[in-house]
Amino acid sequence: MTAQIINGKEIAEKKRVEIAEEVIRLKNLGVTPGLAVILVGNNHASRTYVRNKEKACHELGMNSILIEMQEEVSEEELLAKIAELNETPDIHGILVQLPLPKHIDEKKVIESISPSKDVDGFHPINIGRMMTGQNAFLPCTPYGIMVLLEETGISIPGKHVVVVGRSNIVGKPVGQLFLNQDATVTYCHSKTKDLPLHTNQADILVAAVGIPNFIKAEHVKDGAVIIDVGINRNEAGKLCGDVAFDEVAKKAGYITPVPKGVGPMTITMLMYNTVKSAAESLNRD
């Protein structure tokens, strides 16, 4: 079998057309969705993502502001900035680019963001709402993965989903979203014994590990759906995922590439959440 490649860029663009229509509707009602991105320090990769986010906002007719802070900024100053943005009516979404410098408590920062502006879906209130199936901002990468599968026509109920990785921003929430859609979910992580035993059971395998080419053909069942979340640089400095694409694509049924797979969906769902937040702000007035 040779896998069908899931074109994340194309699906992201299709979704962006729908989001742009909603932006126009909101503008006619007097609200332009606005996103604030806070970038602390000078991480090169973060800079690329932040630029992509700003570009997407502008293409959709949304407002975006970028707040850059020195690596040495105090936690207090960062929290004060977030408190100010929480009270700014034109700002509907606040994103603090992670990771933060070591002297800043990430949990404290995330909890300081108003849950109604937490478009990353990282605040414990939104995570709790997601877990209990209530209205919530869903974290962008996991949400983007669900949309990729929906748009590709892959059904989820009853499927065995194996997630490799259990971070708060990708692994854990993506498993939860699959569970919410009636999949059977297995989580694997660095303490998992006999990883291939588990991954070979997967109808849908999600790799969110952060190690280049970690998932090989031997980890994969014939015909499985492979979702590669990894954004890594290989020895040659080239962008690559967590999945050894060429060998796995020969065995899988579907596979997402890197780049142009999950990454563009992450940004699209961030735009979606910001627009949703702007719409909800209207309902509160």
Considering the rule CB under 6 A, would residue 124 count as an interface residue with ligand GUE?
no
**Both structure tokens of 153:** 């026509």
Considering the rule CB under 6 A, would residue 231 count as an interface residue with ligand GUE?
yes
- What CA–CA distances, in Å, run from 148 to 6, 45, 87, 153, 211? 8, 24, 34, 9, 22
Task: Confirm whether 14 is a catalytic residue.
Answer: no
16 is in an annotated binding site: no
125 is in an annotated binding site: no
Q: Which amino acid is at 197?
A: L
Give the list of residues 6+ apart from residue 183 with CB closer than 8 angstroms, or none: 156, 157, 158, 159, 160, 161, 204
Minimum CB separation from ligand GUE for residue 213, in Å? 16
Q: How far apart are CA 199 and CA 202, in angstroms?
A: 5
Which residue among 97, 117, 221, 242 is the active-site one? 97
Footprint on this chain of ligand NDP (rule: CB under 6 A): 141, 164-167, 169-171, 188-192, 195, 208-210, 229-232, 262-263, 266
Task: Confirm whether 53 is a catalytic residue.
Answer: yes
Q: Which residue is nearest to ligand NDP (CB)?
A: 167
Find which of ligand GUE, ligand NDP, none residue 121 binds, CB within 5 to 8 Å per kind. Answer: none
Lookup result for tokens 């290989």: 234
Burial label for 9, CB within 10 Å (0-12, 13-18, 19+), is: middle
Lookup result for tokens 């994969």: 220
Q: How far apart are CA 281 and CA 31, in angstroms?
A: 9
Q: Which of 150, 259, 280, 282: binder of ligand GUE (CB under 6 A)? A: 259
Minimum CB separation from ligand NDP for residue 32, in Å? 25
Considering the rule CB under 6 A, would residue 173 count as an interface residue with ligand GUE?
no
Find which of ligand NDP, ligand GUE, none residue 95 binds, CB within 5 to 8 Å per kind. Answer: ligand GUE
How many C-beta neighbours within 10 Å does residue 260 have?
A: 16
Find which of ligand GUE, ligand NDP, none residue 249 binds, CB within 5 to 8 Å per kind. Answer: none
Task: Confirm whether 97 is a catalytic residue.
Answer: yes
Binding site for ligand GUE (CB under 6 A): 48-49, 52, 95-98, 120, 140, 231, 239, 258-260, 263-264, 266-267
Catalytic residues: 53, 97, 120
